[in-house]
Structure 1
Amino acid sequence: MRNKKKSLHLLSAAIGALLLGMASCQSFRSGDGSQAAAPTTTEVADGWANNSVNAVVFRKNSLVTHQGSQYTAWYDADRHVVLAKRKSGAQQWDIQKTDFTGNAADAHNSISIMVDGDGYLHLSWDHHNNKLNYARSVSPGSLQMTSKMPMTGQSEGTVSYPEFYRLQNGNLMFFYRDGGSGRGNMVINAYDTKTQQWTQLHANLISGEGKRNAYWQAYIDRQGTIHVSWVWRESPDIASNHDLSYARSTDGGKTWEKSTGEKYAIPIIEATGERVRAIPQNSELINQTSMGADENGNPFIATYWREADSDIPQYHLVYHNGTAWQSLPLDFRKTPFSLSGVGTKRIPIARPQVLVKNAGDKTAVLMLFRDEERGNKASAVVIGKLADAKWTIMDLTQESLGSWEPTYDTELWKDKGVLNLFVQKVEQVDGEGRADVPPQPIQVVEWKPAF
């Protein structure tokens, strides 16, 4: 262990990386200069790591907390879906290997979970343009699941990117794409805890009109507003991603509007969607945005693309300040790369996640990412005060995580302001290839920023 005073001196002088694990008493500095305790890590079990399927950004959720219990899920070496549960912050996990299996060799086929307001665990897994796979626990708090069942029986034949979200009243939302890349529509189902039934709210909320599809991410803020942002893709080629759009709902997903309050006609199409930022094709714009919101309900979006006058893709924070959309380029990257082709790509940086606290002059932002320039660690951009637009970059892990992308416990963050990050070292071979990697530990990194 290094001398504590020396460690703190180095940390206060550092502009770039803050190293984890030098000592248990080490402090971390947030973007406003305040100190936070160092992250801690809990190991769960080993999981499949031959590609990035356990660690892709569009898992909602990889971790979820309800009434002091936290749940997680992953594919093991045999491609079985494994569920686990612990008391929040505990070291020991109860682990249940299910009979469910998936084509884990395709990194699209991720596992998503959520716990409803009555404590039932909901599970969806193994989707890339195939029939819906869905089950829920047999009782509240249980890891024993029902057999596979339909939700509504409608538009459930070509499912991709299934994601659960929990509303303030404990009911659930389920978003997914119906159809293939470049020609898909966005479906929304709603679950009522009283009837334990799913209904379809929208068979086609965001329509590709048979010509394109939207790659979205969503966030439900403390007021219950559902925020959705997306990019359009014109074909299966990732280079055809373009533009950044936005919609919100204040009535549980029934009706939708722009940031101006103007009501949308449903379905939303390219011509009618609110264009937050015009980004042309061939700009290295990644599919899947990341959504967050401040305590006043103003939306925040994080993603990456390349500006026309540069050959280096950079992360960008796009947000609404209550009056207009703003854009903050986080131009710390130095290495060019280009996105093109089909399938899951091996990319030198991860799609980000954005987390927001407070509002107004006190708005603070945390952006989670991975970058080969930083050794493929779990890293964070910390903006302690958005009004100053100054940031600090710190590493939350010491070791390389390969092709990992960040997912976290959204409910714990909203309730406690504590980050629980799902972490596993995985390797992604370009175009759905498989790496020769033994199972790797599933870990949870826990950290509370000092803002």
Structure 2
Amino acid sequence: MSRNRPAGPWPIAGALACAFMLCACAGLPRQQADVRIVEVADGWAANSVNAVVFRKNSLVTHEGSQYIAFYDGAGRVVLGKRRLGARDWQLAPTQYLGNARDAHNSISIMVDGEGTLHVAWDHHNGPLRYARGTAPGALSLGPQEAMTGRGERSVSYPEFYRMPQGDLLFLYRDGGSGRGNLVINRYDPASRTWQRLQDNLLNGEGRRNAYWQAFVDTAGTLHLSWVWRESPDVASNHDLAYARSRDGGRTWERSTGERYQLPITAGSAEVAAHVPQCSELINQTAMAADRHGNPVIASYWRDAGGAVPQYRVVVHDGKSWRTHDLGFRRTGFSLSGLGTKAIPIARPQILVESAGTAPMAWLVFRDEERGHKVSVACTTDLHHGPWQVVDLLDRPMGAWEPSFDTELWRQSGQLHLYLQTVHQADAEGVLPTGPAKVGVLEWTPTCPSQP
């Protein structure tokens, strides 16, 4: 293992860029940026594999220690650990390599209730690659192992979620683009064993597959949202759908409480927002919930007849779904084609804070229109708006997409983002780019009150 001390802070904005009301042209006063950047080490940057939105997680905190994972310049899985607030990282290059040239093959990590680190990496329609720490708190990994031994030959999009009691859920796609199913496993830290909960929760019926994200709220309810894709062509994405589980993934219901008959199909799924094919609807969704357990989904797409994809937040108010069009983008683009694409905007993350009388919310994103910076749209009233946009970091981030420490956000309301300038060529390409600095952006989210 080695220790890494950063040479100095990255250049950050001394103040946020002027925040613009999305519903008006008048600017707001400049807001002071309470942002800190902590450097880690150099990581692979020839494509976006280290900085894709579906990493669950790139960062994770347990009992005051924060863990990180990334590929280095040779495609080796590197793990790191620090005490919260510290700038020094303990780094541990592992014995494992991944095919970092495929941007799908991201690393996902989580720490269970006993303090043991779990790592999954290098998945795009291939065998499960999974290992866990040799002891609680350890960065050293044991041998690669199976979970249940079933449905582990064609794995994509592995994601960990920690339940309130310390158990883990592991979600992944079994099958390929346009013909895959959602699998859920559950890990018991006491017995150190995995159990299959769902072999086929979201059934593509051999004709389509779902791209999902999940969220565990304070009551332990598991919220799941997804888009359907009809073929390997990204343009065939359509509709935002929703389900929730109140018993850790065993049984599932609609937002009304009506129980699903499993598996869920395109014909039986609750639709939170109807979006037709060829609407530039992106893979994945961002998922959150307010303090009452009402789901919140974020993504982007364009309206029928429109030319510009817009970020949108789909909110359930306890009675029905409403879609909020943030409406600040001005340039169009197309998602048609296969493989990981070079896209001018990032898939977003959505965070909701319900301490006040109305839920506050933050949409974290990157947009070419704003110079590919780390940007946030925020509102002090999720149900009625308006929204403002600010930039957290005054430097371009290339093809970066946001992933964050979900457990730290849940515990303390602090946002820690994985930060790295990366690049992405169209159609799964790589660029002749050397390693780039990996870091963590630390921010306690605020949003100015509306006049």
What TM-score comes out, normalization by structure 1 length? 0.93
- Alignment match of 2:368 (pick from 368, 372, 380): 372
Quote the residue 1:20 is aligned against.
none
Quote the residue 1:26 is aligned against.
none
Quote the residue 2:8 is aligned against.
none
Is 2:173 aligned against 1:177?
A: yes
For the residues of structure 1 that align with 2:328 and 2:175, how far apart are their CA atoms?
37
1:332-411 pair list within 5 angstroms:
332-358=328-354, 361-411=357-407
Amino acid at match of 1:192: D
Is 2:53 aligned against 1:57?
A: yes
Amino acid at match of 1:379: S
For the residues of structure 1 that align with 2:118 and 2:19, how far apart are their CA atoms?
43
Contact 1:32 1:383 (8 Å CA) reproduced: no
Contact 1:294 1:359 (8 Å CA) reproduced: no
1:175-207 alpha-carbon deviations (Å, 9 max, x no partner): 000000000000000001111100100110000
**Residue 437 to residue 258, structure 1, CA distance change in 2 (3 Å):** same
Identity value in percent? 56
Quote the residue 1:147 is aligned against.
143
1:410-421 pair list within 5 angstroms:
410-421=406-417
Quote the residue 1:448 is aligned against.
444
Amino acid at match of 1:412: L
For the residues of structure 2 that align with 1:196 and 1:104, how far apart are their CA atoms?
29
**Residue 14 to residue 113, structure 1, CA distance change in 2 (3 Å):** closer
Size of the aligned set, in residue pairs, is 430
Amino acid at match of 1:211: R
Quote the residue 1:22 is aligned against.
none
Shift of 1:449: 1.5
For the residues of structure 2 that align with 1:371 and 1:377, how far apart are their CA atoms?
7
Contact 2:20 2:28 (8 Å CA) reproduced: no
Contact 1:41 1:444 (8 Å CA) reproduced: yes
Shift of 1:35: 6.7
Quote the residue 2:435 is aligned against.
439
Contact 1:178 1:187 (8 Å CA) reproduced: yes
Amino acid at match of 1:56: V
1:388-407 alpha-carbon deviations (Å, 9 max, x no partner): 40111111111100000000
Contact 1:36 1:450 (8 Å CA) reproduced: no
For the residues of structure 1 that align with 2:345 and 2:269, how far apart are their CA atoms?
28
For the residues of structure 2 that align with 1:33 and 1:408, how far apart are their CA atoms?
28
Shift of 1:334: 0.3
Quote the residue 1:190 is aligned against.
186
1:21-420 pair list within 5 angstroms:
38-358=34-354, 361-420=357-416
For the residues of structure 2 that align with 1:16 and 1:79, how far apart are their CA atoms?
42
Shift of 1:359: 6.3
Contact 1:177 1:187 (8 Å CA) reproduced: yes
For the residues of structure 1 that align with 2:206 and 2:125, how far apart are their CA atoms?
15
User: What's the secondary structure of 2:50's corresponding residue?
Assistant: helix
1:279-326 alpha-carbon deviations (Å, 9 max, x no partner): 110000001001011111111000000101310000000011111111
Amino acid at match of 1:245: A
User: What's the secondary structure of 1:408's corresponding residue?
Assistant: coil
User: What's the secondary structure of 1:239's corresponding residue?
Assistant: helix
Contact 1:16 1:394 (8 Å CA) reproduced: no
For the residues of structure 2 that align with 1:67 and 1:173, how far apart are their CA atoms?
19
For the residues of structure 2 that align with 1:255 and 1:323, how far apart are their CA atoms?
22
Amino acid at match of 1:322: G
Contact 1:361 1:387 (8 Å CA) reproduced: no
User: What's the secondary structure of 1:385's corresponding residue?
Assistant: coil
Contact 2:21 2:387 (8 Å CA) reproduced: no
Amino acid at match of 1:333: R
Amino acid at match of 1:395: D
Amino acid at match of 2:20: I
User: What's the secondary structure of 1:184's corresponding residue?
Assistant: strand
Amino acid at match of 1:71: Y
For the residues of structure 1 that align with 2:383 and 2:167, how far apart are their CA atoms?
35
Amino acid at match of 1:285: L
**Residue 360 to residue 327, structure 1, CA distance change in 2 (3 Å):** farther
**Residue 121 to residue 33, structure 1, CA distance change in 2 (3 Å):** farther
Amino acid at match of 2:304: A
Is 2:11 aligned against 1:15?
A: no
Contact 1:46 1:441 (8 Å CA) reproduced: yes
Contact 1:34 1:450 (8 Å CA) reproduced: no
User: What's the secondary structure of 1:179's corresponding residue?
Assistant: strand
Unaligned stretches of 5+ residues in structure 2: 1-13
User: What's the secondary structure of 1:72's corresponding residue?
Assistant: strand
Shift of 1:89: 1.6
Shift of 1:386: 2.2
Quote the residue 1:424 is aligned against.
420
For the residues of structure 2 that align with 1:241 and 1:208, how far apart are their CA atoms?
13
Shift of 1:450: 2.7
User: What's the secondary structure of 2:393's corresponding residue?
Assistant: coil
1:5-64 alpha-carbon deviations (Å, 9 max, x no partner): xx88x97x75379xxxxxxxxxxxxx9999775211000000000000000000000000
Amino acid at match of 1:434: V
User: What's the secondary structure of 1:216's corresponding residue?
Assistant: strand
User: What's the secondary structure of 1:95's corresponding residue?
Assistant: strand
Amino acid at match of 2:251: T
**Residue 314 to residue 56, structure 1, CA distance change in 2 (3 Å):** same
For the residues of structure 2 that align with 1:98 and 1:254, how far apart are their CA atoms?
34
Shift of 1:385: 2.1
For the residues of structure 1 that align with 2:411 and 2:29, how far apart are their CA atoms?
24
Contact 2:375 2:389 (8 Å CA) reproduced: yes
For the residues of structure 1 that align with 2:31 and 2:412, how far apart are their CA atoms?
18
User: What's the secondary structure of 2:410's corresponding residue?
Assistant: helix
Quote the residue 1:4 is aligned against.
none
1:52-92 alpha-carbon deviations (Å, 9 max, x no partner): 00000000000000000000000000100000000012100
Amino acid at match of 1:15: F
Shift of 1:123: 0.2
Contact 1:36 1:448 (8 Å CA) reproduced: no
